[in-house]
């Protein structure tokens, strides 16, 4: 059985916005916590339709929310499980929270979750029919190692800068290196034939020279995990994870769900294969959305990310949202079983 886990927030919920405002006074100048991170373009409906259409073998979808849910969602449908923050959190004193990083520290506490599951965001669509082996082979998550060339040290930070997300990734890596150094790999996990020559060279340096992670290429699309991995990570890094869990907004001492991914890579508990079947777009203006939507049918996954879209006119924002939803309605016109029949 394979489940899906999706965190979602209704950024238009007036009660939730009022609660956020109580704690938001010192966060307004922090881009990582700005309002665009909570904007809801209505993509969740099409994300769920895409799962139902293209992954018909799925067991259940666990939807993590503050407590609200879309009015079109039938929460009594047998394959939808609503998980509130109150139910999710190991330490209820950390609530309320307004950070996905905090939420991700508590994923091991989802009751009833299958050991095999796929974690994905509410803006990621599955556009092609997929088999279970796209995510799991031999009971292992399908993943890849593509190591970076440069450490994110003080020199890098001075030259390039580091936002809270980059700091959280660095924090993940530091913990994994502390646990697994010196890293030891099965050769196939470093030099699989699905990897490019550049990746193999970089992985060679990781194996022979560094023996620890400096930086890793990220897959901004659905990621397969084992629940047992989450439990192991939570036991090992409980103190650091609970510090992150207590952060109501993003901070530089955060961790992210990639901590689980790095653990499975470092431990070798994955099936190596690097797919190149996803399209990820950063949307800053109407030209971006027009270009982003070109040829998306060629990909298995599509993520129109608006994390850099802020302070645009209402007219431009409406254009971007309309273009996106019109395209998703074209791709997924039929109501799914989880939608209330009006």
Is residue 305 within 8 A of residue 282, CB to CB? The reply is yes
pLDDT in the model for residue 37: 47
The per-residue b/e assignment along 24-50, b for 16 or more CB within 10 angstroms, e otherwise, is beebeeeebbeebbbbbbebbbbbbbb
Q: Which of 311, 315, 314 is nearest to 284 (CA)?
A: 311
Sign of the CA dihedral with 128 first, then 131, 136, and 137 last: negative
* Spatial distance between the Cα atoms of 290 and 273, rounded to a whole number of angstroms: 31
Sheet holding 278-282, edge to edge: 125-126, 301-305, 278-282
What per-residue confidence (pLDDT) applies to 28? 52
| Tokens read off for 305 | 């990310």
**Strand 61-65, strand 80-84: pairing:** parallel
The pTM is what?
Answer: 0.93
pLDDT of residue 26: 60
Backbone angles phi, psi at 60, to 5 degrees: -145, 160
* Positions in the chain short of pLDDT 70: 26-40, 153-156, 158-161, 307-311, 342
- List the chain domain ranges: 2-331
Number of other CB atoms surrounding residue 298 within 10 Å: 11
- Kindly state the DSSP code that residue 335 receives in the 8-state scheme: P
Residue 290 has a CB neighbour count (10 Å cut-off) of 13
Asked if residue 54 lies in contact with residue 128, where contact means CB atoms within 8 angstroms, the answer is yes
Residues 6 or more apart whose CB falls under 8 angstroms from that of 315 comprise none
């Amino acid at each position: 059985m394979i489940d899906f886990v999706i965190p979602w927030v209704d950024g238009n919920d007036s009660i939730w916005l009022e609660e956020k405002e109580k704690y938001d006074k010192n966060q307004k100048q922090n881009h990582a916590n700005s309002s665009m991170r909570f904007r809801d373009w209505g993509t969740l409906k099409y994300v769920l339709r895409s799962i139902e259409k293209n992954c018909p073998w799925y067991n259940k979808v666990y939807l993590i929310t503050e407590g609200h849910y879309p009015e079109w969602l039938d929460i009594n449908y047998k394959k939808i499980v609503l998980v509130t923050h109150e139910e999710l959190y190991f330490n209820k004193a950390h609530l309320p929270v307004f950070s996905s990083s905090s939420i991700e520290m508590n994923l091991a506490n989802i009751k009833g979750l299958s050991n095999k599951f796929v974690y994905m965001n509410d803006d990621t669509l599955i556009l092609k029919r997929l088999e279970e082996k796209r995510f799991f082979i031999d009971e292992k998550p399908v993943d890849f190692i593509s190591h970076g060339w440069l450490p994110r040290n003080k020199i890098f930070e001075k030259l390039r800068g580091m936002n809270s997300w980059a700091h959280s990734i660095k924090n993940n890596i530091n913990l994994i290196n502390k646990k697994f150094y010196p890293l030891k790999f099965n050769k196939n996990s470093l030099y699989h034939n699905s990897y490019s020559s550049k990746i193999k060279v970089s992985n060679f340096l990781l194996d022979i020279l560094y023996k620890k992670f400096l930086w890793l290429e990220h897959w901004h699309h659905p990621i397969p995990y084992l629940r047992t991995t989450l439990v192991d990570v939570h036991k090992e890094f409980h103190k650091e994870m609970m510090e992150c869990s207590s952060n109501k907004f993003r901070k530089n001492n955060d961790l992210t769900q990639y901590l689980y991914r790095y653990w499975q890579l470092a431990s070798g508990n994955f099936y190596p294969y690097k797919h190149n079947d996803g399209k990820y777009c950063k949307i800053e203006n109407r030209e971006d959305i027009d270009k982003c939507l070109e040829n998306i049918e060629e990909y298995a996954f599509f993520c129109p990310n608006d994390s850099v879209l802020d302070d645009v006119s209402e007219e431009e924002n409406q254009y971007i949202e309309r273009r996106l939803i019109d395209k998703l309605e074209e791709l997924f016109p039929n109501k799914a079983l989880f939608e209330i029949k009006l």
